[in-house]
Amino acid sequence: MASRTVPSSASASLPGAAAPGAPSPHAAPRHGVFEDAQALFTGSLFVGLTMMMYAQAGLLTGSTAGLAFVLHYATGWPFGAIYFAINLPFYWFAWKHIGRAFTIKTFVSVGILSLIAELGPRLIHIDYLHPAFAAIAGGLLMGTGVLFLARHKSSLGGATIVSLYLQERHGLRAGKVQMAIDCAVVLLALWVVPWDRVAWSVLAAVVMGVFLAVSHRPGRYQGG
């Protein structure tokens, strides 16, 4: 039996066929302004809660937040103000190598986190918090917040900018890069923080890094 060729005009009307010039039905929808705003606030809030837990338990984190914690513990200066100032040089790197939209969103996220870090202790207080719980729950909570921000093309500055850049440009897992940087920063804090708190802080960095390595892989999430 001779095969029949379906005319191009008929094929366009077949169920599931995309019209010429129409976007692919599998193309990921881009995030709207409200979706971005919600993600930036929620991600920054999750990380802010983690920072309050770490401060309560005497723990540290990595990246520029870890350096801000070290200076906060050593000098007594406000954590939020130190954290905001340390991130200023990284905005130039993000603007040059990643893009304007990412840099602006990162600036907003860092500002929200700095504000939460300053106002949070006036709104919530934990009477008792074991460092093991703070390390595990905080690592997961921070990893979730960072993941929210990353999927909406934002970050919390510092090592997160570098790790996301290396993942996008060179295929290195952001979680592994973040974990290596965070552990190095935390270990540098031995001269300020007791060794047992540093050990719990390393655990928190590992928990967060593993979470990001499993959950944030190149190409898995296509939203823009």
CB within 8 Å of 168: residues ≥ 6 apart: 98, 218
204's tokens: 């928190």
Range from 1-10, 28-37, 90-99 carrying the lowest mean pLDDT: 1-10
Under 8 Å between Cβ of 46 and 138: no
pLDDT band at 43; cut points 50, 70, 90: very high
pLDDT of residue 53: 92
User: What's the pLDDT score for residue 219?
Assistant: 58
Q: Each residue of 196-222: pLDDT tens digit?
A: 888 898 899 889 888 888 886 655 555
Residue-level pLDDT at 133: 96
Query: Element (H or E) spanning 192, and its range?
Result: none
E-strand stretches of 102-213: none
Give per-residue pLDDT as tens, 53-64.
Answer: 988 898 887 778
Give the pLDDT of residue 120: 86
pLDDT in tens, 95-122: 888 889 989 999 999 889 888 888 888 8
pLDDT at position 41, please?
95
Q: Name the residue with higher pLDDT: 164 or 9.
A: 164
The reported pLDDT for the residue numbered 170 is 78
Q: What is the mean pLDDT of the chain?
A: 79
Residue 88 CA: distances (Å) to CA of 94, 95, 110, 139? 10, 11, 10, 25
